[in-house]
Structure 1
Amino acid sequence: MATRRKPSPTNSTLLTAGMPSGTVRPLTSSGRRSPFLPTRLEAQLLAIYPLTLLLGSIFSTLSPATRSAPYSVTLQSHPTEFAPSYFAQKKNVFNVYFVKVGWFWATVAFAVFVTFHPSFGSGASTRRVRALLRYGVVTTWWWIVTQWFFGPPLIDRGFRFTGGQCEMLKDPGARDEMSNTREYITAATCKAVGGTWKGGHDISGHVFLLILGSALLWFEFLPALTHVEELRDGRLITLPDGKVASVAVEKELVKVEGAATARGVKFALGVAAMMWWMLLMTAAYFHTWFEKFTGLLVAFAGLWTVYFLPRGVPQIRAWLGMPGV
């Protein structure tokens, strides 16, 4: 008697997942994992961030210079005259010209990579458009958290929700009258009128920005690097019919070559590496552990929404796609 074969996904089914059929592989034992979870390589990458925060905190605890230097909870740093290191000063050149405008550098690095890397093809290719959409969603999350969200950004809203407020310190005579004011509802406007933003939980904006910006770059160019190094990718996706399949970087991607392409990858790598170094400095000299931890969580929330949620939701993946496919 002939054995009945189980129906297999057709090419049309795979194409409706929003991907070329050549990128989808038959499900292997890795199918026990959820499409919403990172691969082993991605998990190792993401683990760098909490480990960096932990390493910086351990250093600040064990370093004699850091332990002996006064720390201001209001300033969220060591006062300048007692700073144990050049990197512990808020006005150090890397903080002023790199971290405080960190999203500008992340944007430039992303633009160079998307412009010059040959895997995106020429002109307004589908891959390039989807990469720009992913960047747009991540940038929107950065804007909502740190810049504006129908008024104050989420960081300032969270600060006020946990009891924080602006205390006017510039005029000592007016301090008693203004100590309970809540009309200066953002950190920026409070500082602009000479006040001090204090009293609540302040999510570390630096930690949030540095993790979000560097991980954006890593997730976008990691498929290109894994292709060059011939490493297995192993990402899983949910197809429109509910089945789970494995997807990887296409083998027919053009070979990385030429000075322009090298600049695209190397510049993005350089910006990501610099962001990691400043994350380590932030972990060592600025903010409390809990403030840094919440900055990590808020950044991870945005990254998961853009780079992991689409793997399990075909409707979202049809718009945002996945890096490298």
Structure 2
Amino acid sequence: MSFFASRNSTPVVLISLVLLGASSYYFINKSQNEKQLKAEKLELQAQQSKERKRKLAEERAQRLAEKEAKLAAAEAKKEAELTAQAEIKAEKLRKEKELAAELEAIKQETERRNTLRTVALANYVGTKYASLKVAGKTYNDVTVTKATAVGVTIAYEHGARRFKYADLPLEIQELCHYDAEISKNALISEQKAKLRHNQVTKLAPSPTRSRPVTANKPSKESSSITKPAPKPRGSITARVTSQRSGNDEIHYRDSKKYNYHYKTVQVSARSSVPAKLYNNGSFIGSVSPGTTAKFTTRSDYKGKYRLELKSNSGRLLDSEAHNRKSGLH
């Protein structure tokens, strides 16, 4: 039985072994495939990560290059602007120097011509002509008495006359270095000077005639001079507004008690000259001329006061005391 049993179980075992081997191969193959797929997946991820890093690096490098290019372009533009500004400034400075040189040359030429003209005009004065024809008229026995940029003044047998250079012969114009523009400006200046002189003459006071002073009737001028100055005047008005009495220890030499009687006095002072108000010799305040000044003062402990209004020179104008009013001085 065991023999048949073992012979019958052999195929089952073989099948089981085959199945076991097949399943083992399948699982082993599956595991290897999974490992391979996982490895391929990791490798793909690594390649993708590397590609992303490469692209990021390229983009970063491109942005950096673009930024550097923009900075370089900005620097180049700024430098070009500075260069252009420097060239403009240099050109402006050059033109200013050229203009200054031209103006200086014109100034020097003008001064040279003015000097030549001045010398020529000074030398021309005193020139004599037996006859001189100007504007179709002949003048005999001619002597040049004055020559300016405006014209020439001559003396001839029948008097004197002034001519403008435009009316004189060409040789005289050349001799005197005649310039139409300068002559026109000189004539305008001369006319303005005459106008100012006439205005000043009109505004100037006319001389007055002194009146003879007779012995019987003095003139107004002499009476105004000999009239004495007005006498300074002043007045004081005092009014006692309050009083206070009592007994207290007032420290004098003997340190005894004394009865006191203080008075508060309101004063109005008026003066025709600058003055000062005093009470018992002490300064109270100043009084302006023509105004009424008001002050408040106090008597001594016995109720006595003496008000004095004096001018700044020390003259007594008015005074008033606790027991009398002196009146005006």
TM (norm. structure 1) is 0.18
- Structure holding more helix per residue: 1
- Structure holding more strand per residue: 2
Q: Which has the higher contact order (CA 8 A, sep 6+)?
A: 1
